[in-house]
Amino acid sequence: MADYIDALVEAAEDDVVSLDGLYVTTRDNGYRLETPDKSRDSLSEATLRDVLSDYDEYVTNWYFWSRAVGESSPQRRAFLRWVEGADAEDQSVPARYDALRDGIEREWGQLLVTATLGDDGQRRYELRHVDEADREGDDLDTYHEPLAARQLATYDEKGRYRPLKSGTNLAGGWVFPDLDGRDLVETVETFYPASVPNWYREREGTLDVEHWVDTIGRQTGMYSVVETWNRGDGHEHVNWVAESCCDDSQCVKRREWQYDDETDLDVDGGDGAFPCREPCSLVIAASRKWTRLEGENAQTYEFELTPSEKEQLEAIVDAVADDRTDEIREADVYEGANRYRARFLRAKLFDDDGNLCGVPTEDES
C-alpha cells in the first residue's frame, strides 16, 4: 500500500490525479484531496499520506487503472472498465469493490466474464461459457493461455467445424479461471476476433460500417449478385439473407450494416454486445449460392397433399432452420419433423427417383 501511495503522491506532483471520484492536486498552500464524501485542503505531504492510507480502495483503484492497466491500449482499458461497470456515475469505488468481492458478471456473445478482486485491488477475471454459469469449476477443463481459446472455438459440441466464429454454437466444458486484464482481452479476442476493437470504435463513433452494396461490389465474381439482387426488389433478397444468417439465434454479433447508406433492412440487427460492421464471408458465400438459385424461373407444380402432410413439410423446414431436429425424440410422433414421420411421408409420397408425389422437377413433356 505504501508503494501505491508513493506513486500517487508522485503523480499528483506532476499533474492532477482525478479518477473515479478521487481527486488529488498540489496548490501553493499544500495538497488538496477530494473524495465523494470528503475534501481536505492545505495538507502537508505527510498528512496527505496519512489521509490516503484511510482511503485504500480509492488508492488501489487508482493504481490499478493508472499503472497496471494504463493508457497504452484505450480499447483494452475501455473493455475492462465496461466489464466492472467502472464508468457508471452512480456507483462509488467502495460500492464497486463490494460488488467485485462478490464477482461482477458480464456477457460477451456466449462468453461469461466474471471480474473479482485480487491482491491490493488488482482485478482477476474468470471466463467460461455463458450457459455454464452455475457449473462447478472442477467439472470444467481448465486453461490459462489465451491461445487455447483458438482450439475451443474451432469445433461445436458435436465436433463439427464452426465456419462462423460468432455463431451461436460455441461448445462449453472449459474455464479460464484466473486471467489478468491483458490475457482476458486476448482470450476474448481469440474467441471473437476484432470484437473488442469494433465495440470500442462504435463507442467512440468511429466504426466504419460497410453496407451490403459496397461489400458485394468489391467481391470479385459477385457482380451477378449485384445485378440480380439490386434490381427491383433486391432489397428484399438481402432481408432474407440477414434473417437467415444474422439473427440473434444464429450469430452473437449485432448487425450494423444495412442495404446501403440510405436504405435500412427491414429485419432487426439484434441485441449483441458487439457490432458487425460488414457482411462476413459466410454471408457472402451463402449469397453466391442463393444468387444462382434465385436466378431460376419459378414453375408451377401440382402436388396432392393432405392438410397434415402440408403442415408436416412446413414443420420439417422449421425444425431444420432452427436446428431442432436433434431435440425431436424418436417416440414423439406428434412432431411433424419426427424421423419416423418423415420416413413415412417419404415412403408414401416419393417415387423411386425421389420426386415428391411422383412429380418430376423438370418438365418432361
The footprint of ligand SF4 (CB under 6 A) covers 166, 245-246, 251, 253, 255, 276, 279-280, 282-283
Closer to ligand SF4 by CB, 32 or 253: give it. Answer: 253
User: Minimum distance between the CB of residue 314 and ligand SF4, rounded to whole angstroms?
Assistant: 25
Pairing, β 254-255 against β 111-117: unpaired
Closer to ligand SF4 by CB, 19 or 273: give it. Answer: 273
User: Minimum distance between the CB of residue 193 and ligand SF4, rounded to whole angstroms?
Assistant: 11
How far is Cα 232 from Cα 216, in angstroms, rounded to an integer?
17
User: Minimum distance between the CB of residue 270 and ligand SF4, rounded to whole angstroms?
Assistant: 7
User: Minimum distance between the CB of residue 273 and ligand SF4, rounded to whole angstroms?
Assistant: 13
Find the Cα–Cα–Cα–Cα dihedral 336, 340, 345, 346, rounded to 10°: 130
User: Minimum distance between the CB of residue 257 and ligand SF4, rounded to whole angstroms?
Assistant: 7
Rg (the chain; Cα; Å) = 28
Closer to ligand SF4 by CB, 208 or 304: give it. Answer: 208
Closest CA to 84 of 60, 109, 65, 56: 65
Q: What angle do CA 312, 318, 321 make, to 5 degrees?
A: 145
Closer to ligand SF4 by CB, 60 or 258: give it. Answer: 258
Closer to ligand SF4 by CB, 93 or 242: give it. Answer: 242
Residue 107: beta bridge partners? 112
| CA dist 25 → 1, 34, 45, 291, 333 (Å) | 20, 9, 11, 65, 75
Question: All 3 cell numbers of residue 187?
Answer: 482470450
